[in-house]
Structure formats: C-alpha cells, structure tokens
Amino acid sequence: MTQADANAASARPNPSAPGIGRRAALLSGAGAAVAMAAGAAVPARAQARPPLTVAIGTDLITQDPCRIAGGNDYFFFANVFEGLYGPDENGKPAPLLAESHTASPDGLSYEFTLRPNARFHSGEPVTAEDVRFSWQRAVAPETRNPRASVLVANIADVEVLDQRRCRVKLKQRDASFLDNCGEYWYIISKKHAEAGGENPFDRQPIGTGPFAFVERRVRSYIKLRGFEQHWGRVPAFGEVTLKIIPDDQSRVAQVQTGESDIVTNVPPVLAAPLQRLPNVQVVRAPSFQNIYIAINALNGHPGLRRADVRRALNMAVDKAALLRATMLGFAQQLEQPCHPDIFGCDAQVTPYGYNPDRARQILTEAGFDFGRPLKLLGQGTGRVPQARETLQGVAAFLNRIGIRTEINMLDYGAWISVYGARQKDPSVDMVFANFTDYNADPSGRLLRQVRTGATYSWYSNPEIDAMLDRMNDFASIEERRAFVRRLFARLHEEAPLIPLWTVDSIYGVGRGLSWKPTPHVSWPVLWNVRRAS
Amino acid sequence: MARFLLTRLGQALVTLALLTVLIFVLARLTGDPTPLVLPSEATEADRAFFRQQYGLDRPVHEQYVVFLRNVLRGDFGISFRYREPAFDLVLAAIGPTLQLAGVSMLVAILLGLPLGIAAALRPGSWLAATVRGYASLGQAMPTFWTGLMLIFVFAISIPVLPSSGYGTAANFVLPAVTLGFYASASVTMLTWANMTEALRSDFVQMERVLGIPRRLIVLKHALRNASLPIVTYLGLQFGLLLGGAVVTERVFAWPGVGQMLVDAILNRDYPVVQAAVMLTAVLVMTINLVVDLLYAVLDPRVSRS
C-alpha cells in the first residue's frame, strides 16, 4: 500500500455539513463557548444523533496532553486529541493530522503536509505553526512534561514551510518517531494555549479528535460530543457520557441494565457470564498489556544470575494451563517478551514449552540452591486482572519442581516503589509485573524493562545494552527489523523474565451497537462505534 | 450551658491539633508518592523537580510547619494527582457523602424506631420474633453484598432503579437503603432494649395507674427516656458514614469522600488525605457536639453535671 493509499484508507469522507450539536453545546458554558467559537450553523441531523454512554473504571488525572502521567488517561486523549500520526482501526500507525510525509534519506528529518480539512474543536484550522507550537510547549521547562524524554526532546527544530507544511528535524535518528507521534506528541492549538491563561487545558481541553470536550465532574463523569467537523472520523453519536464506575460488578451491571451502552475493563471472571446474556455482546481485542514475571538477575538468589537457570524457570511454568485457569482464555500467550505484532517480534525462536522434568534437570546440573526459597513479589490490588492468582499459579508450578517460594503481595503503590526502585531489593527474587506498550514499537518498553539501570530492569548485560542503544538508529525499516529480530532472539536466550501473556481488552457492548475496538491499544477508541444495522 | 459548650470546644481543638500531627506523619509513612504521580518515562530531573515543587525534599519537621501554617489559612495544598486544590476536591466530595449519610440515617430511624418500639410493646409475640430476625439479618449482611443484591433485584431483574451513579433522587434509593438497612438493625435492637426497660420503670407504671393514654406514655415519656443511647448511637453511626461508607460508595459509584480518601491513600496523595481526614474530623466533632447538646435537651441533668 502506498502512502496515498494509506491516507485514502484512513481518511473517510466527511458526509456532514460543518456544525456542532446544539444539545451538546448547551450542556456547559465551556461547551457553549466552543460552539460559539466555531461559529457554525447547527444542522438538523446533528440534533438527531443519539447519545452514547460508556462506563469506565477510573477517572482522568489530567486534561493537558503535555502532562499525561500514565496509560490510564488515554481513554480521554485517544478520543479528544490527535498527533500527526496515530493508530488506525487495525492498530497500525497511520497518518492522522498529517496527510502525507517524506523522510530524509538519513532519517534525521521528516516533512509533513497537514490535511486541508483538519480543524480544532474551536473551529480553527490546524496549521504548521500549531505543530511547531505543540513541540515548543511540550519541551518548555515550565510545562514540566514528564514524558518529554521519549520523543519531543529529540526534536531539534520544527520549521514552518507554509500554512500546511512543516519540517521536523531530529537531533538523533529515531526509528520509533512515527510510531510514538500518536501517544507522545499531541497537536494543540497555539491560539487556545496562548489565550487560555496558566492552565488552558485544565479549563477547556481543545483538541482535534473525533470527540470534543463538553464538561467534567471529577470522579463522576466526563461529557464529550461527536465532532462533526472532523477531517474523517466523524462519530455516529452526539453526546457521549463517560461514567466513572470503579467497581467491576457495578460497572458490568451498567450494560446489563442498559444504563450504559458500553462498559470497559470487564474482568475475565465477569466476561464469561456476560456472554450468555441476550442483550449484551462481549467484544474483545488483543492489547499490548504484557504480563510477565521479572527475574532478579542482579542481586537476588545467586542462581538467577545464570541464563540457563532463568531458561529452566521458563520451562517450569505451564503458561497455557495458567492462562486457561486464571484468565479464562481472555489473553494471548507469549513465548517471547512481546506480542507477535510488535515490530521485530517475529523472530524464529524455539519456544521453551512446559517441561518440568527438563527444568529440574537443568537446575540440578547448574547447582541451583533448592534450600533457599525464591521470594516472589506480587500486586495485591485490582489494577491487573487476576494478578494475585497468576503469581500464586507461577509459585505452584515452581513448587512442583522443588523450588520453595514465599509470596509477598503489596498494594500497587508499595509494589511499584519496590519494582521501580533505583536500587533493586536483594530480598526480592521475582516480581509479577505488567507493562503496556503504547504502540507496536518495542523500544520504549525494552529500554525501561531490560536495559542496565533502567527503572524496571532487574537485569544487566552490556551486549544487550549495546543492542538497545543501537535499535532506533536506523533509516531503513527492513534493516531495523532484522536487527530487532536478533535482539529479541538474544533476549529469548537470555530469559531475563518469564513472559506470560498479553491481556485482551474486554468490553461489554449493548446488542444495539456495532463496534470493532482498535486492537493493540488498551483504551476504548470510540469514533467507529455504530448502531447495529 | 455556656461552660459545657466551651469545654467541648476546647477538647475539640486539642484533638484537632493532635490530629494534624498524626495525619501528617501517617500520610508520609505510606511512602514516596513520586512513582505513583510521574510516569516511568520521567527523568530524575523531573522527579527531583516534583519533590522540590511540593516541598517533599525538605526535612519533615519543616514540611509540618509549612503544612500547619497553610492549614490555618485554609490551604491544604494542591493534589498531587489532580493538580487542583485538595480542599476544593474534598469539599466537592463531602456534599454527596453528607447527603447519603443523611438519607441513610433517615432510613435507619424510620425503620429502626417503629420496629424497636413495636417489639418492646409486644414481647414474646410473632412480631417480636420477626423483628429479631430482621435485626439479625441487618447486622449479619455485609453492605457490599446487600448493595450488589439490591442492584441485582431492582436494577437488573426488575429494572426500576438505576444501578449506580449520582445526581437524581432515584440514585439515592439503593445506596441509602443499603446503608440504612445496616444501621437500622442496631437502631432496632437499641430501641427495643431501652424501650423495654423504660416501659418497666416505675414512672411508666405510675402513669398507667393515673390513666394517661398509652400512646402518650410510649411516645412521649418512655421513648424520651430510652432515647439517650439511641441518639448516641445515631451520632456515632453518622460519623462513621462520613468517612467509612467506602464500600457502598464504591459499589454505587457514589462520588463521596470515603472512596476519595481510600484512592488518595493508595495513590499517596498527601494533600487530599490530609484535607479529607481533617474535614471529616471537624464534621464528626461537630456532630458529637450536637449530640452532646441534644443530651442536654433530652436530659437537663447532663448540663447541670
């Protein structure tokens, strides 16, 4: 598929006349202000657009795209804001605000042409000047963007070529640049940011996404409205209410009663009975939320510093059985430390498989000290589905080959303090862990998960470090793919962790709707929800 | 009466002063908030700036002095998580909590008082046995289970009420019944026991001999004498509901202060923890003061002593 084909595929024609739903605009002063700013007439069909109610589990932490603190906030940003690039309906990177781009042969600069019909929710067109400003604000020290280090800090300059064209110059070659444009560099309105005072996005988050912000009540709901002037992803719904229902049972009840049209984060144990209800369909999509057991190869049990011992631990755990028992099948089993759809994670490696006898034999030959128990650290609260049961299952499989285990479950805050500590705790041998890839590029995770001294790395290997440092320094995609395959193959041999599975995103959806959730993202992207025909 | 009030107020102030120390220290014992507030992509410089911005890099005693000075001005700081004034966040959550606690107490009183009185008036009857069963059930059933069962029956099986949420009168019914049912069990038993005792007392016997109507004896004289422990219990229960209705708030997605406090503790959002505990404490003390005053009204001997 050519660049033009990709653009054509991702940009659906906007059949509606420009306008903003009257009902949504009347809901709040802020919404009304946006509607007035847009200065557009209200088409009759906008009023007929039905409302959509979605029950979600957690509230938003920030409305400012330069202050995103974690993956939990993406349910908002993925619907209200956009980058130059971002995931398409199949989770693949596709041009969003950019119509097309060209990359220089050295991979150090990208020239983007913006879509002619890309607009902010205020009605203003998106210009190259906005792109430049979005970068400047994202890296400005006073913004305190906690995630600037991933992408925007590597931008040397954004040159405005004309109203719709700009050139992004990088300090260093970064093969993950386009992939990360979706989650690490949202385009914002210069006019709004400069006119909006100290925290313009806290008051009124104006983006370019398929949904515009209307109002919010902290810990209760967020109201959005379908943005009819969107360049292509025009939602079928007018007012969208995101209700915050923290309790899993109560959230699932929302779709059973018809109070909500969609519920997110359905735990596997509740998904199975939900499937039997006549008025609800359970929709699932693969995600990049990786569940694994990190092995302390630094300063824990001395045996864990040996790669053959770590490989034996991989053989000791029957992942398929554990997945069936704890996740009830709502996950994708992993053999490598990544989902097969991650870039370069299609290396041909021999899976370890479940082989407890061979595992025991390797450990014995390696002189593993069975007398010293392995201390396992787990998450005790419900951030990750079946976290407690999964670690208990892993411990049971280790017990079967003669390894004694001691489990310590901590609440998330205490757990992440230990897991992400600069100095790793020598009294911890293995950690139940989860890490979500925001897109198909593996570098963000690997650099934090296995590089020496990284936040979540319990492993050190200069050879792997050198490969990680090199992995983004490619101009040719195919050369990089071959390199990343070699890296994953080496990581498979080194076994710094026991990869278990990626969790499926599970949604309860009313029968009256038709929706294909975007695969490989762990948050609902709602623009393609339609009424079932 | 004035001296009584002043004594109570003085005690409340001392308690609040001690509470500032306790909550300040306990909040910090939960650990460093940085890993929970900043993403894993944050650099060391980002983390250092965060600590500096919120004064977390200063010695603890200095942090306490700043905290105390700000609290006296009504400033509890900015929430680490929401980046909004902590007091405003808590104030927005205390309204729904007070409303729910109030309606729940009303349910508890409307159910508990008549049932307790009725059981005391007919000892050994089928009515008394039924009331005993009701009270036992109310005390034995945990609120999260009652809540989920009510959702199952009245929102899913017979869809007449919303399963969760806040904002309309209908939203009050299930959570208020959940909490009210639980509290009504104790109110019933307390009323029953104290009314039984009051009805056996000499003054009630004398009133009967004097031919005073039974309704007047029960509702005016016996109930007034039996009411002191019930009022005490209701005061305590109201205080508990202010900060302790966490499970019910969670099940019904009620945006109250209990759930907010638990979230703040789990996320190490010190300013919100401090503001929520202090505000709840002030409310509980106010309720206790009101209960003390009610004592004095119900039994003038209290203020005289």
**Higher model confidence: residue A427 or residue B39?**
A427
Residue with tokens 């990680």: A468
Distance from CA of A3 to the nearest CA of B (A): 31
Q: Which of A485, A491, A490, A431 is nearest to A455 (CA)?
A: A431
Contact A239, A28 (CB under 8 A): no
B207 vs A277, B194, B298, CA distance in Å?
A: 63, 18, 19
Name the CATH topology of B95-269.
MetI-like fold (1.10.3720)
CA geometry: angle A172, A131, A99, nearest 5 deg: 95
Nearest chain B residue (CA) to A150: B41
DSSP letter at B78 equals: B
Regarding whether A469 and A521 lie in a shared domain, the answer is no
Q: How far is CA A58 from CA A22, A152, A248, A263, A533, in A?
A: 29, 28, 11, 12, 31
**C-alpha span between A484 and B15 (Å, rounded):** 62
User: Which domain does A187 fall in, by range?
Assistant: 3-265+506-531
* A324 in any annotated domain: yes
A22 contacts: CB under 8 Å, gap ≥ 6: A35, A42, A46, A47
Contact B266 A412 (CB under 8 A): yes
Q: Are residues A438 and A387 in the same domain?
A: yes
Residues A208 and A176 grouped into a single domain: yes
- B120-to-B136, B148, B192, B232 alpha-carbon distances in Å: 16, 32, 5, 20
* Average confidence (pLDDT) over B217-228: 82
How far does B68 lie from chain A, in Å, by closest CA? 26
Residue A52 in contact with residue A260, Cβ under 8 Å? no
3-class secondary-structure state, position A470: helix
Contact residues for A216 (Cβ-Cβ < 8 A; gap 6+): A60, A63, A222, A223
Question: CATH number for the domain including A250?
Answer: 3.40.190.10
How far apart CA A175 and CA A89 sit, in angstroms, is 22
442-481 of A, contacting B, C-beta below 8 A: 444, 448, 455-456
User: Are residues A254 and B163, on separate chains, in Cβ contact within 8 Å?
Assistant: yes
pLDDT digits (tens, 9 = 90+) for B267-279: 899 999 999 999 9
Element (H, E) at A497: strand A497-510
Q: Which two structure tokens, joined as six digits, stand for A459?
A: 């492993």
A239 and A372 within one domain: no
pTM (global) more than 0.90: no
Amino acid identity, residue A125?
Answer: P
Cβ atoms of A174 and A154 closer than 8 Å: yes
B31/A413 touch (CB, cutoff 8 Å), yes or no? yes
Radius of gyration of chain A, Cα coordinates, nearest whole angstrom = 24
Q: What is the DSSP pairing of strand A374-379 with strand A430-436?
A: parallel
> How does residue B287 score in pLDDT terms, banded at 50, 70 and 90?
confident
Helix and strand counts by DSSP (H, E) for chain B: 15, 0
Residue A207 lies inside a defined structural domain of this protein: yes
* CATH number of the CATH domain containing A475: 3.10.105.10
Position A10 scores a pLDDT of: 38
Q: What band does B214 get if pLDDT is binned at 50, 70 and 90? A: confident
In a domain, A270, yes or no: no
DSSP alpha helix (H) spans, A127-174: 128-139
A94 within some domain: yes
**Do residues B153 and B74 touch, judged by C-beta distance below 8 A?**
no
- The pLDDT assigned to B9 comes to 84
Tell me, yes or no, whether A378 lies in a domain: yes
Q: What per-residue confidence (pLDDT) applies to A243?
A: 95
Least confident segment among A70-84, A282-296, B106-120, B227-241: B227-241
Amino acid code (one letter) for A42: V
Nearest to B183 by CA among B291, B287, B256, B101: B101
pLDDT at A7: 39
Give the E-state strand segments of A380-479 in sequence order: 405-410, 430-436
Into how many domains does chain A fold?
2
A146, A250, A411 ranked by CB distance to B42: nearest: A146
Six-digit token string for A403: 């390894």
With respect to residue A257, please indicate whether it lies within any of the assigned structural domains: yes
Sorted by where each begins, the domain ranges of chain B are 95-269
Contacts of B175 by beta carbon, 8 Å cutoff, 6+ apart: B100, B104, B147, B248, B249, B251, B252, B254
Q: What is the pLDDT, as a whole number, of residue A15?
A: 33
Is residue A272 in a domain? Answer: no
Give the count of beta carbons closer than 10 Å to the beta carbon of residue B68: 13
Q: Between these two residues, B221 and B23, which has the higher pLDDT value?
A: B23
Q: Do A373 and A249 share a domain, yes or no?
A: no
Specify the higher pLDDT residue, A9 or B32: B32
Interface test with B, best of A218, A383, A451 (most B CBs within 10 A): A218
- pLDDT tens digits in sequence order for chain A, 533 residues long: 333 333 333 333 333 333 333 333 333 334 434 444 443 434 444 457 899 999 999 888 899 999 998 778 999 999 999 999 999 999 888 999 999 999 999 999 999 999 999 999 999 999 999 999 999 999 999 888 999 988 999 999 999 999 999 999 999 999 999 999 989 999 999 999 998 777 889 889 999 999 999 999 988 999 999 999 999 999 999 999 999 999 999 999 999 999 999 999 999 999 988 989 999 999 999 999 999 999 999 999 999 999 999 999 999 999 999 999 999 999 999 988 889 999 999 878 899 999 999 999 999 999 999 999 999 999 986 678 899 999 999 999 999 999 999 999 998 888 998 999 989 999 999 999 999 888 899 998 899 999 999 999 999 999 999 999 999 999 888 999 999 999 999 999 999 999 999 999 999 999 999 999 999 988 999 999 999 87
CA–CA–CA angle A52, A56, A59 (5° rounding): 115
Q: Which residues of B touch A448 (CB under 8 A)?
A: 40-41
- Indicate the DSSP class of residue A262: E
| Contact list, B94 vs chain A (CB under 8 Å) | none
A95 lies in a domain?
yes
Res B244: pLDDT: 65
ipTM of the shown complex = 0.82
Residues from chain A contacting residue B85 (CB–CB below 8 Å): none
| Distance separating alpha carbons of residues A481 and A483, to the nearest angstrom | 5
Cβ contact, residue pair A456, B40, below 8 Å: yes
Any B CB within 8 A of A420 CB: yes
Residue in B40, B53, B148, B156 to test binding to A, most A beta-carbons within 10 Å: B40
Q: What is the DSSP letter of A223?
A: E
Residues A61 and A173 in one domain: yes
Please write the tens of the pLDDT for every residue from B87-103. Answer: 999 999 999 999 999 99
Shortest CA distance from A242: residue in chain B: B165
Confidence of residue B305 (pLDDT cuts 50, 70, 90): low
Mean pLDDT of chain B: 89
